[in-house]
Structures are given as structure tokens and as C-alpha cells.
Amino acid sequence: MRLPALLRTKPFRLTLLFLALFAAAAAAFLLYIYVATAGEVVRRSQREIDRELASLQTVYRLGGVDALNQEIIGRAVVGGFEYLLRSPDGRRITGTLAASPAEAGDAGWVNFKIELTSPEGGLVRRDGRGREVRLSTGHRLFVGADVGESRSYVVKLVRASWGAGVVVLVLGLFGGVLVSRNVSRQLGGLNRTIAAVQAGDLQARVPVRGVRDEYDEVAEGLNAMLERLERLMGGLRHAGDAIAHDLRSPLNRLRSKLELALLDVEAGRADAGAALAQTLDDVDGLLKTFNAVLAITRLQAAGEAPDQALFDPGELARDMAELYAFVCEDKGLAFDSEITPGLTVRGNREFMAQALSNLLDNAVKYTPEGGAVMLRLRRRASGEIELSVTDTGPGIPEADRARVVQRFVRLENSRSQPGAGLGLSLVQAVAEAHGGRLELDEGPGVLDGRGPGLRTALVFPRA
Amino acid sequence: MRILIVEDDLEAGSAMQRGLADQGIEAEHAPDGLAGLDLARKGGFDVMVVDRMMPRMDGVTLVETLRREGDETPVLFLSALGEVDDRVTGLRAGADDYLVKPYAFPELIARVEALARRRETGSVNTVLRVGDLEMDLIGRRVHRAGQELDLQPREFQLLEFLMRHAGQSVTRTMLLEKVWELHFDPQTNVIDVHISRLRSKIDKGFDRPMLQTVRGAGYRLEA
């Protein structure tokens, strides 16, 4: 037989287990109470009976059997105990009992029944307990007491405890069902989401109730995980599409160039060696493009640069300044650098070096002779680290700045220069892979027919 | 010079063999990692060129195994992957240099020669001499024909590298990697500019130019 779904849930089973444990503990507890209370009641009556016996024996020692007889008659009127005094041959002399409940010669404790006449005239039997002692003259004295009153108290106590136990069991069962239903509802949302994800829907999310309990924590953790997975999957898909798309046109260009070269060589218009050398150059260029596209898409897909470490960007800036200072001088550009020492940035040094190198390459490439290039490293008031390159070239019109960082976008006046239009895309990808950004601004402005110039800044978050 | 090429791309392997033979370098070719390991264990190679990803045993395992066995033959790693971590893994496994596919032939030959040469010059010199050029590594001073040359620190490093590889072609990429520790190619001809400045310092005023440009490959310092 299958239990209803609710009763098969883990919380409900846990509730049952807990209730079973509780019942066992309660039973043990009751047993202990019973033993302790009932035992104590009997012991107390026995102590009282012993005291009564002792005081009667004192009367006997002082006044003999007659005095004892008188005393018993007196005390029987007061009540509280049952008495029986017998002669040495076992005949009843005096007392409240008709016969002795004790066996002949037995000095131990005995239980017996006390028969009372109720006010209505009926007969009531009650539990009694007592002991018989042999006096020096051979007479036997029995003293007993009614213990039924105390016993019934214990019985009532036990009954009340059982009742309480049943109430607890019922309440516990009811609570268990409530808790199970609650948990089932929570897990139901979770399970539905997992099933949806398994079925391929990466956009499914676990509902969060906003009460900030453990379920919400699990839900939020799972949602964050799904978020990241979805982004990575999207990134990979995008990377594949992008590479395919980006390389198709350069490959087509290469193919038509090769075709034309072959025609020229066959017609004797061109030298085969030169054509091959040109082709080799073109293929090298294509490979460079391929590597750049791969680096960009990998960075974008991963979301963050690999192997990040803390380092001083000043060192990097000085290295690059040294590398490019002569290049600028060679081209008739003034070069200067302002490097704030002692800064720390977190990142992949090689990617950052390449990004900075791309910015410097651009500055050198597009600034006409007689201009200037400036490399600056500083910390912004916000704590961000800024590596900027400023030139006095033609700059980029504001309307084009967003477009120019896209892959393969080359502005009209840059077509005369070599390049595939990937430099700034890579810089942007590197910046974003470090949680930073690439900023493009106007340079120093128009002066003596130059400018307005371009200011490019790599901005990294504080380490 | 004898070279072992371990490369699973047979076409690439035999192209490499031919290219090296053109330079008078004898090369043997193993088509996978295990075959490479067997050949390498026989010994007698000056340099090994090992591909990264191969069937039966990958390049990293091959190099690690050889190094554990005490084989110190210089290894040039080849890989289609150019990522930082790949290069680091390769070098950590015990490779001596790393070249990303696709590479230009002069680049491969220059690096193989550099590795073979490094093995020959085992002794530690404090003074490097190439022709009448003399470099004091401890005093950080350079003289040509007794005349002191004033070099910037980076120029000193650049010249030191060229002198250690005197008579061999060194490529721009090698210089970027070994002197500047940059593992990418800037678009601008930064290396050419630095070389021409160095050239003006060491060759200007002397009859015979030592620092020569090798077409299609890079530079060479000749005694």
C-alpha cells in the first residue's frame, strides 16, 4: 500500500520518528514517576504503622496486656489504623478487625482488604497494609492502615499522564503534517525549477518568497548559479557565432586575392614568388585577426580574466613608457608619462599590458608628426585605478565613440592605416574582464590646427 | 646538430623536418608521445621540439617523464593554444621555451638554435666577448675596441641577449619575450626602434657594423 504523498515526505517521517522517540521518553518518565511515587506512598504508610506499633509496644511494656487492650480500644475510636490483639493461642481479644490477615508466625508486611460500611449502607472494600508482631507474653498484635487513598492518587496521576501523552501525540502528528506540507510547498518550487532546467530551460528560476529563511537562501544560491550558467552558455554560443562571422569575410578576401594572383601568374603578369610571399603575409594577418577574435571572445565568454594577481601597475606603465618613448621620438612625437607610484591593481598583467600597448599603438598610429602622446597612471578619488593615453591626433567624434569599440569597426579616416579594427575591442574586453571599463574622451582640444585629440582610459576597480 | 620532433600532425612534422634540413639540421620525427619518449630515451639529441596535444601521451607528460629520468635535453614546446596558463604549464613541466602555432619558420629555427647554443655554453662568464665588443656583466659596462659605450639598462639587457646568441638569428618575438617579458606582438615596430638605437650606439663610428638585420627573421650580432 502506498501512503499518500504528504505522509511519505521526509519532514512527516521525521515527525513520526520524533513522536516515537518522544513517546518512549514519556513512557520511561511515567514509569519512573510511578515507581518513585507509589513506592514512597507505601513506605510512608509503613513508617506510620511501625511508629504506631512501637508506641503500643511501649504501652504493653509499661502496663501489660490489659493496658494494651485499653489503649487499643481508645485508639480504635480515634481511627486511622486497624488493630487486632490476639491471645497466644490465636483467639481474638480486641481490635477493629475480625481476623488477622497475617499468616501464623509471619512477621512481614501483608496486604489485606478493609471492609467498610458506606454511608449508604453498602459495603466498601479498601486496600490495607499492615504487620503483626509477637509480644513477650506470646500475644500477637497486628496494626494496619488504609493505603487505598494514596494508591488511587497515583493511579490518577498515571492516567493524567497518559492522557497528556495522547494529546501530545495528536498535536505532534498534526504539527508534522503542517510542517511537511510547508516543506513540500517549498521544495515543490525547487523541484519544478530543476525539472525545467533539466528540460533545457536555462531561464527558469526558483521563486524567492523574500522571508530570508534557509529556503530563500537555497533558492537564491541556485538562482545565482543558474544566472552564471546561462551567461556562460550564452557567451560560448556568442563566441562561436562571432568567430565564424568575423573570419568569413577576411577568408573570402584572401580567397579572391589568391584567385587574382593565380590569374596574374598564369598570364605572366606577376611573379609567382612575390605572389606567394604576399599570400604568406595575408595569412599571417588573418591568423593575427583570428587570435585577436579568439582572445576577445574568450575573455567575454569567461566573464573575467584568468590568473589574476595583485601587482603594481606603475611597473607595467614604466615598462610600456620605455617601450614606446623611442617609437614616439622616431615618429617625431613628443612623449611623456606621469606615473603615480605605489598603487596596486588586481588583474592579469599580460592582458593589461596588451590592452595598454593597443592604446599606445593607436596613439602612435593616428597622431600626426609634431604631436604629443601622454601616458598617465593615477588613482581616482573613487579609488579606481586609471591608466590613460592622451594624444593630439584627430580624435574620435562623440557620435562614433560607442561604435568604435565594436569588432571590425574602422572609422573612415583610419582606413589608410593598417589594422583589422580589433584593437579597441580587445581593450574593452580586457577592461570588462577585470570589472573595469574603457573610457573614450576628447583630448586636449584643438590647438594650432591639431586635435582635438583622444583620451583613452582603462579604469580598473580598486584592488 | 640533431633534433627530435614529436608531433602528431604528420604533415606539419615532415614540413618541419624539411625546413630544418635546409638549414643543415638533422631531425627525427616521432608521430606521438610514446614513440617520442622511446626515441628520446635513446638519447643523442641536442634539442627536442614537442607538440602539446598528442595521442597516447601528451607533451606535458612526456617532458615531465624525461625530466624525472634526469634527461636535461632542452625542450621547445609547440602549442596551438597561446594562453598564458598553457605557457606556464609547459614551462613548469620542464620545457625551456614555448612557441605558439602557427609560427614562422625562421622563428622556429632561431629558437632551436638558441636552445642548442645554451647547452654548449655551460660555464658561467662574468665577461661576454663578441669580436671587439666586450660586456662586463658585474660592472655593467660595455666597451667596443676599448671605447666605453653608454647604454641604458634596457639596451644593456638587449645587447646581452644578442651577445649570448651571437652569430644566430634572434626574432622580434624572442626579444619581446626574453628582454621585455611581453608575450604579445605590438602592432607598432617597437623592437625595430630599440634595435636601431642600440645599433647607433655600438656601430656608429666603427667601420664594420656588428648588429645586422636578417630579412624575414630578425637580427643577428656578428663578430
Asked if B189's CB is within 8 angstroms of A291's CB, the reply is no
Single out the residue in A155, A185, A207 at which a domain terminates: A155
Alpha carbons A175 and A165: distance in angstroms, whole number: 15
Where is pLDDT greater, at B205 or B5?
B5
User: Is B145 in the same domain as B164?
Assistant: yes
Phi, psi of A112 (to 5 degrees): -150, 175
Q: What is the pLDDT of residue A7?
A: 67
| Cβ neighbourhood burial of B135 (10 Å; 0-12, 13-18, 19+) | buried
User: Is A252 in the same domain as A331?
Assistant: no
Sort out which chain A residues have CB atoms less than 8 A from B188's CB and list them: 324, 327, 360-361, 364-365
Alpha carbons A195 and A208: distance in angstroms, whole number: 17
Single out the residue in A155, A175, A209 at which a domain terminates: A155
Beta bridge partners of A437: A459
Which candidate in A287, A290, A327, A362 is best for mutational testing of the B interface (most B CBs within 10 A)? Answer: A327
A435, three cell numbers:
570589472
**Shortest Cα distance from B71 to chain A (angstroms)?**
30
Single out the residue in B93, B120, B147 at which a domain terminates: B120
Asked if B187's CB is within 8 angstroms of A358's CB, the reply is yes
State whether residue B197 sits within 8 Å of chain A by CB. Answer: yes
Q: Which of helix, strand or coil describes residue A444?
A: coil
Sort out which chain A residues have CB atoms less than 8 A from B176's CB and list them: none
**Shortest Cα distance from B194 to chain A (angstroms)?**
7
User: Is B66 in the same domain as B110?
Assistant: yes
Q: What is the pLDDT of residue B123?
A: 58
The range of the structural domain enclosing residue A250 comes to 233-301
Q: What is the pLDDT of residue A120?
A: 75
How many structural domains compose chain A?
3
**Does A378 reside within a domain?**
yes
**Does A202 reside within a domain?**
no
User: Is B170 in the same domain as B213?
Assistant: yes
pLDDT of residue B120 exceeding 70, the answer is no
User: CA dist A278 to A257, A355, B103, B217, Å?
Assistant: 10, 29, 17, 16
Beta bridge partners of A142: A84, A132
pLDDT of residue B82 exceeding 70, the answer is no
Beta bridge partners of A111: A129
User: CA dist B120 to A201, B1, B159, Å?
Assistant: 62, 11, 20
Asked if B190's CB is within 8 angstroms of A323's CB, the reply is yes
Rounded to 5 degrees, what angle do the CA atoms A138, A140, A146 make? Answer: 170
**Does A173 reside within a domain?**
no
Q: What is the pLDDT of residue B121?
A: 58
CATH number at residue B201: 1.10.10.10
How many structural domains compose chain B?
2
**Does A396 reside within a domain?**
yes
User: Is A449 in the same domain as A316?
Assistant: yes
User: Is B86 in the same domain as B137?
Assistant: no
State whether residue A332 sits within 8 Å of chain B by CB. Answer: no
**Does A160 reside within a domain?**
no
Return the half-sphere exposure (C-beta side, CA atoms, 13 A cut-off) of residue A290.
16
User: Is A366 in the same domain as A432?
Assistant: yes
User: Is B104 in the same domain as B9?
Assistant: yes
DSSP string, B164-181: HTTTSEEEHHHHHHHTS-
User: Is A147 in the same domain as A123?
Assistant: yes
User: Is B28 in the same domain as B99?
Assistant: yes
State whether residue A309 sits within 8 Å of chain B by CB. Answer: no
**Shortest Cα distance from A195 to chain B (angstroms)?**
37
Q: What is the pLDDT of residue A314?
A: 93
Asked if B104's CB is within 8 angstroms of A284's CB, the reply is yes
Surface of B (62-91) touching A: CB under 8 A: 82-85, 88
Asked if A350's CB is within 8 angstroms of B197's CB, the reply is no
Sort out which chain B residues have CB atoms less than 8 A from A326's CB and list them: 190, 193-194, 197
CB pairs under 8 A between A and B: 55
The range of the structural domain enclosing residue B157 comes to 127-221
DSSP string, A55-101: HHHHHHHHHHHHHHHHHHHHHHHH-SSEEEEE-TTS-EEEES-SS-S
Beta bridge partners of A371: none
User: Is A133 in the same domain as A238?
Assistant: no
Single out the residue in B105, B120, B135 at which a domain terminates: B120
CATH number at residue B91: 3.40.50.2300
User: Is B7 in the same domain as B49?
Assistant: yes
User: Is A403 in the same domain as A328?
Assistant: yes
Residue of chain B whose alpha carbon sits nearest to that of A356: B186
Q: What is the pLDDT of residue A108?
A: 82
Which among A75, A74, A79, A65 is positioned nearest to A141, based on CA atoms? A65
**Does A324 reside within a domain?**
yes
E-strand spans in chain B?
2-6, 26-30, 47-51, 75-79, 97-100, 127-130, 133-136, 141-144, 147-149, 169-171, 211-214, 218-221
User: Is A318 in the same domain as A296?
Assistant: no
User: Is B109 in the same domain as B212?
Assistant: no
Per-residue pLDDT of B65-77, as tens digits, reads 988 888 888 999 8
Residue of chain B whose alpha carbon sits nearest to that of A286: B102
The amino acid sitting at A111 is N
User: Is A318 in the same domain as A455?
Assistant: yes
Single out the residue in B120, B148, B171 at which a domain terminates: B120
Q: Distance from CA of residue B65 to its chain's centroid? A: 23
User: Is A327 in the same domain as A403?
Assistant: yes
State whether residue A326 sits within 8 Å of chain B by CB. Answer: yes
User: Is A288 in the same domain as A320?
Assistant: no
| Cβ neighbourhood burial of B145 (10 Å; 0-12, 13-18, 19+) | exposed
pLDDT of residue B84 exceeding 60, the answer is no
Q: What is the pLDDT along chain A (463 residues), one digit of tens a residue?
A: 556 666 677 777 887 888 888 888 877 887 887 777 777 877 888 898 899 888 888 988 888 888 888 888 888 888 788 888 888 888 888 888 877 777 655 668 888 888 777 677 777 777 888 888 888 888 888 888 887 776 677 778 778 877 887 887 888 888 888 888 888 887 888 888 888 888 888 888 888 877 788 888 888 888 888 888 887 777 677 767 767 777 787 788 888 888 888 898 888 888 888 888 888 888 888 887 888 887 888 787 777 888 888 999 999 999 999 989 989 998 999 999 999 999 999 998 889 999 999 999 999 988 999 999 999 999 999 999 999 999 998 888 888 887 777 766 666 666 556 566 678 888 998 999 999 999 988 888 777 777 788 999 999 998 7
B58, three cell numbers:
601528451
Q: Which of helix, strand or coil describes residue A126?
A: strand
- pTM equals 0.63
User: Is B137 in the same domain as B74?
Assistant: no
Single out the residue in A278, A301, A324 at which a domain terminates: A301
Q: What is the mean pLDDT of residues B192-212?
A: 89
Asked if A350's CB is within 8 angstroms of B188's CB, the reply is no
User: Is A267 in the same domain as A366?
Assistant: no
User: Is A52 in the same domain as A121?
Assistant: yes
Strand pairing class (B127-130; B97-100): unpaired
The amino acid sitting at A141 is L
Closest CB to B102 among A287, A324, A357: A287
**Does A205 reside within a domain?**
no
Strand pairing class (B26-30; B2-6): parallel
**Does A167 reside within a domain?**
no
User: Is B40 in the same domain as B11?
Assistant: yes
Q: What is the pLDDT of residue A411?
A: 67
Count the helices and strands in chain B (H runs, E runs): 8, 12
User: CA dist B54 to A420, B10, B80, B112, Å?
Assistant: 33, 11, 12, 21
User: Is B105 in the same domain as B26?
Assistant: yes
User: CA dist A39 to A80, A132, A155, Å?
Assistant: 20, 21, 13
CATH number at residue A280: 1.20.5
Q: What is the pLDDT of residue B180?
A: 87
